[in-house]
Structure 1
Amino acid sequence: MIKKILLGIALSIACIAGLGFWVVSLMLPDDSVDLRTTTAADLAYFDRRVAEHRGKILAVVTSTAVMGDSGKRTGYELTELSRAYYVFTANGFTVDIASPLGGEPPVVIDDEDMGAFDYAFLNDPVAIEKVSDTKPVDGVNPDEYAGVYFVGGKGAMWDFPENTAIQNIVRQLHRDKKVVAAVCHGPAALVNVKLDNGKYLLEGKRVSGFTNDEELFLISDARTIFPFLLEDGLRNRGAKVEPGPSYLEQISHDGDLLTGQNPWSVWALAEATIEQLGYEPIPRKKTGDEYSTQILGTFEQQGYRKARAQLEFFMGNADTPVNHSLIAMHAVVAGMKMDVIKTLQLLLLASGAR
């Protein structure tokens, strides 16, 4: 009997270990292609770039390097700048980069999220020169720009909301019916903007931004670290917040105001910005992350079977492999929330994307 019990325990441990190895293998990215040396010239997207100069867009990044008194490092999110930068430039716009303090801002680079466009940015001498010596926002002339784009990064929660120069830029562009766009924590720039009539810009506006659920899942004590949670700040100014599923694409479009929920919303937000500026975005080959987020969005809204069918279609027709590791990461999130069925279904989707 004891031998049978010990054998049963050993088999159970082996199964658990095997499941763990399987999950880890699904989370590992495909390293068959080294993207670190990618340049803008390597992006086929740029072969179709617009030759005419259509104007200028101002991208604003945070100057904050530490989250309050927590000691946690922060900065602007590279992927939220680099991807929008190339969408804007490929579609005929010059991008200037500014920050509250000017000079070289702190940056957050997550190796797991890096793609071809992000490495191209790091290897682009023009882009690096701009982001290494950003313009101070108090020296920006809004008249020079067709629109402004506020890049995310948790540091924006500290130095965007109370910055009067940022408020003036937003107010003037809005007054002139130009585009105001922001992603992830970038909408923190909008919470204290008042219009000439004394009302808050956000009052009655449909907006997206990093949600409380997303924030608190990653940083459980965010309420004590941050000046405020972004979703709360948006709602307190009368905004009609439109939260999508956590860590998936979600944008809101209200006239000349465009906002995105998180880093996975950058592509859609940048191209919606081009459309709002009056142009049809040039065709772009979608990334594996975008296909994955579409599948995950279908899963959240229509269930496993529809998501599986979409996965199989993409596997046979998409021009870029589906990113299985991103789906697996969502499975881990579901597991941490103790949703067993959702976890298993997402793991099956991730396995099918290998």
Structure 2
Amino acid sequence: MLKKILIILAILIASVFAAGKWFFSLLPDASHYEGVKTAEVKDIPYLNQAQPENRGKILAVVTSVDQMGASGKSTGYELTELARAYWVFKANGFEVDIASPLGGDAPKVLDGDDMGVFDYAFLNDSSVQQQLENTLRIDDINPLDYQAVYFVGGKGTMFDFPGHKAIKNLVRDLYEAGRVIAAVCHGPAALLNVQLSDGSWLIADKKVSSFTNSEELFLIPEAREIFPFLLESKLVEQGANFIAGADYLELVVRDGQIISGQNPWSVWTLAEATVEALGYEPVARVRTAEEHAVDLLAVYEKQGYQAAIDRLSQPAKNYERVLVLMHGVLAFMKFELIKGWDMLMLTQKIKSAQQ
């Protein structure tokens, strides 16, 4: 009996080891990440084409908070959410200013697993760095200098955006002047507590999205204790018609002048929707591998595994397989075993097509 038990145990250990080795083989090698770190503007065709004539200015606003309350957890603005929108605005003929509640060098969050060539080109650009180290102070801003404002996400926004008088005045003045208000992920915290001149609340009965309670609590189970509120709940409490999509997939909602995105994967579409809201057709852009992966995951969510396989069999696209793999990990963590396995199979097929 002992011999049989030992044999079974050895088989289980070998199986786990083989499964782990296969899982890690689905990840790109280190050169995949190292190769993008030296990206510069000159390397990206989208950023080197002729730009439309100057169409005015857009203000991007980031948080000044570097810690999540008393938790000791560091935070700041999400660099990817700023960088990608910044490049879309610039490519479409807009000058971009960057501001924060305190001004100066605002704290940023760099997530190497999520960063690509556009993000590193942003980091490696000296003129951009000058802006990042010297963000404008919101109190010193003349709102009507701008055609639109874009509130960048980052968990710090939950602490300094909602109660900031100058931010509330900025949003009110721009909205009442017919300008565009855009925000992504935690950025819609800036829409809270904004009262218009007629006494009504800005977001009352407006369609709005943001980082959802489901997304927040999965990543930070103690979010209710760390944050002063959950953003989705607070938006609903103040009268918003909250729109939520699938967790960690793109969703952009427009209600007149207000454009909001659910999470970081919504930034590209939100930025281009902002350009459209300002009356212009966005300049053509080659979609990124991450966007193609998000599209694939959306097909899976709406139509199932076979539809996702069929999408992969269409004319070749470059898919960011790490993102698909991470959705598999998330599924296993939620005990959605079939979905998790499907994600691993999709990742394997993407890897095979890329070899």
1:221-248, Cα deviation, whole Å (9 max, x unpaired): 0000001011011101111111111111
Whole-angstrom distance in 2 between the partners of 1:272 and 1:138: 27
Whole-angstrom distance in 2 between the partners of 1:29 and 1:116: 17
How far the C-alpha of 1:312 sits from its partner, in A, is 2.3
Q: State yes or no: 1:317 paired with 2:284.
A: no
SS at match of 2:73: coil
Contact 1:74 1:155 in 2 (8 A): yes
Q: Counterpart of 2:226?
A: 225
Q: Counterpart of 2:64?
A: 63
Structure 2 CA distance for partners of 1:263 and 1:218, relative to 1, 3 Å = same
Whole-angstrom distance in 2 between the partners of 1:29 and 1:98: 37
Whole-angstrom distance in 2 between the partners of 1:200 and 1:20: 52
Letter in 1 for 2:3: K
Q: How does 1:46-195 map to 2 (within 5 A)?
A: 46-195=47-196
1:74-112, Cα deviation, whole Å (9 max, x unpaired): 000000000000000010000000000000000000010
Whole-angstrom distance in 2 between the partners of 1:28 and 1:15: 23
Whole-angstrom distance in 2 between the partners of 1:94 and 1:28: 36
Letter in 2 for 1:11: I
Q: Counterpart of 2:22?
A: 22
Whole-angstrom distance in 1 between the partners of 2:6 and 2:259: 60
Whole-angstrom distance in 2 between the partners of 1:287 and 1:121: 16
Aligned residue pair count:
350
Contact 2:204 2:240 in 1 (8 A): yes
Letter in 2 for 1:353: I
Q: Counterpart of 1:332?
A: 329
Whole-angstrom distance in 2 between the partners of 1:34 and 1:291: 20
SS at match of 1:317: coil
Contact 2:41 2:48 in 1 (8 A): no
Whole-angstrom distance in 2 between the partners of 1:312 and 1:16: 31
SS at match of 2:328: helix
Whole-angstrom distance in 2 between the partners of 1:93 and 1:287: 22
SS at match of 1:278: coil
Q: Counterpart of 1:3?
A: 3
SS at match of 1:112: coil
Whole-angstrom distance in 2 between the partners of 1:347 and 1:317: 19
SS at match of 2:87: helix
5+ residue gaps in structure 2?
none
Letter in 2 for 1:346: M
Q: Counterpart of 1:258?
A: 259
SS at match of 1:96: strand
Whole-angstrom distance in 1 between the partners of 2:197 and 2:227: 29
Contact 1:49 1:92 in 2 (8 A): no
Q: Counterpart of 2:307?
A: 306
How far the C-alpha of 1:276 sits from its partner, in A, is 0.6
Contact 1:80 1:151 in 2 (8 A): yes
Whole-angstrom distance in 2 between the partners of 1:57 and 1:191: 21
Letter in 2 for 1:24: F
Whole-angstrom distance in 1 between the partners of 2:223 and 2:104: 28
1:245-283, Cα deviation, whole Å (9 max, x unpaired): 111101101111000011000000001101111111111
How far the C-alpha of 1:339 sits from its partner, in A, is 1.0
Whole-angstrom distance in 1 between the partners of 2:247 and 2:100: 28
Task: Give TM-score, length-normalised by structure 1.
Answer: 0.96
How far the C-alpha of 1:352 sits from its partner, in A, is 0.9
**Root mean square deviation of aligned Cα:** 1.2
% identity of equivalent residues: 51
Contact 1:83 1:267 in 2 (8 A): yes
Contact 1:102 1:133 in 2 (8 A): yes
Whole-angstrom distance in 2 between the partners of 1:269 and 1:343: 29
